[in-house]
């Protein structure tokens, strides 16, 4: 397997990063994780354009200087896929990081790392999760803006997730600094009540998620249901008929309970998961995909 690093296609053992770099010392980086689903000699990449734009926006927020344009990043990803002769579903990780020694306030230019990992096809029958409201508050735009997809921001998620795992749950749910529902570590939250969908708004300390955007589109334009993007109280969670999470890594996963309150109905989640499955197979014609021919 080849990787892209510092404008070269290298083997893993040839990639060198200084142990005193700002990225290893302080978690100073921005990154994206991207799904690619393989179907009949074609790789369907989920919203590649949107992921690249978000990566560049995160770098801009943190004043991370680099020499990569949108077109360069796009072409490096496509070329790496072809060099590795991909013939299965993949997870693509792009990281803008600092590979030389420096401190957290460095003004050196960032290097780009792109890695490809084998992955599974979308599974609409994942085990549902026991969730718990964590005692840890979600970071917010007055301290560490959650719309920046940076490694350092995930320390907040680590604290919350380890807490609920110790308590016997599967997934943490954050409240924001105003006490409204926010998101889970690495995934966005949706509720279903009386046939309508609800998800916290971006001002509730939510990452501007690619998968969330696609879910809202499918709910409104394919299922024909309402999706309300608004502030949500903890009690809204307890009073919901269904709940689920979405994200690049977690895809779509149902929640079976929150703080011991059980959800016994997954009717609308199942409908959504079926349409999302069609999307990953190339059988649902909606935006947010890049198709790459993989005949070698």
Question: Distance (Å, rounded) from C-alpha 46 to C-alpha 163?
Answer: 32
93-108 burial, b at 16+ Cβ within 10 Å, e below that, comes to ebbbbbbeebeeebee
Residue range 272-296, pLDDT digits in tens: 999 999 999 999 988 898 888 876 6
Tokens matching residue 100: 């030389």
Q: What's the confidence (pLDDT) of residue 124?
A: 65
Model pLDDT for residues 78-130, shown as the tens digit of each residue: 999 999 999 999 999 999 999 999 999 999 999 999 999 998 877 766 789 99
Q: Where in the chain is the domain with CATH 3.20.10.10?
A: 129-280
The domain 129-280: what is its CATH number? 3.20.10.10
What pLDDT shows up at residue 252?
Answer: 96
CA distances from 260 to 131, 176, 189, 200, 269 (A): 8, 21, 17, 21, 20
> Which fold is adopted by the domain 2-118?
D-amino Acid Aminotransferase; Chain A, domain 1 (3.30.470)
Q: Mean pLDDT of successive 10-residue segments in the chain (296 residues)?
A: 96 96 96 95 94 98 96 96 94 97 95 94 81 98 94 97 98 98 97 98 96 98 98 97 96 95 94 95 90 78
Residue 239 burial by CB count (10 A; 0-12/13-18/19+): exposed, middle or buried?
exposed
pLDDT for res 260: 87
- pTM score: 0.95
């Amino acid at each position: 397997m080849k990787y892209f690093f510092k404008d070269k296609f290298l083997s893993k053992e040839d990639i060198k990063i200084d142990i005193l770099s700002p990225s290893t010392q302080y978690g100073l980086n921005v990154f994206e994780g991207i799904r690619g689903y393989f179907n009949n000699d074609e790789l369907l990449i989920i919203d590649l354009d949107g992921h690249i734009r978000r990566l560049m926006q995160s770098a801009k927020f943190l004043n991370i200087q680099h020499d990569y344009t949108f077109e360069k990043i796009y072409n490096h990803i496509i070329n790496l896929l072809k060099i590795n002769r991909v013939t299965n579903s993949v997870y693509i990780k792009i990281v803008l990081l600092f590979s030389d020694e420096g401190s957290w306030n460095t003004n050196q230019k960032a290097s780009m790392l792109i890695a490809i990992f084998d992955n599974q096809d979308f599974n609409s029958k994942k085990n549902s999760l026991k969730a718990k409201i964590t005692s840890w508050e979600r970071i917010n735009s007055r301290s560490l803006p959650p719309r920046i997809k940076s490694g350092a921001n995930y320390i907040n998620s680590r604290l919350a997730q380890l807490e609920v795992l110790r308590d016997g749950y599967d997934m943490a749910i954050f409240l924001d600094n105003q006490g409204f529902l926010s998101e889970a570590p690495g995934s966005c939250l949706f509720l279903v009540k009386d046939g309508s969908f609800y998800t916290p708004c971006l001002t509730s300390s939510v990452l501007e998620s690619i998968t969330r955007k696609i879910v809202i589109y499918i709910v409104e334009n394919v299922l024909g249901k309402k999706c309300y993007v608004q502030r949500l109280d903890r009690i809204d969670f307890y009073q919901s008929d269904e709940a689920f999470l979405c994200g690049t890594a977690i895809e779509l996963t149902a929640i079976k309970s929150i703080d011991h309150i059980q959800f016994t109905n997954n009717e609308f989640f199942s409908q959504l998961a079926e349409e999302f499955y069609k999307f990953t197979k190339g059988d649902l014609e909606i935006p947010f995909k890049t198709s790459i021919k993989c005949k070698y």
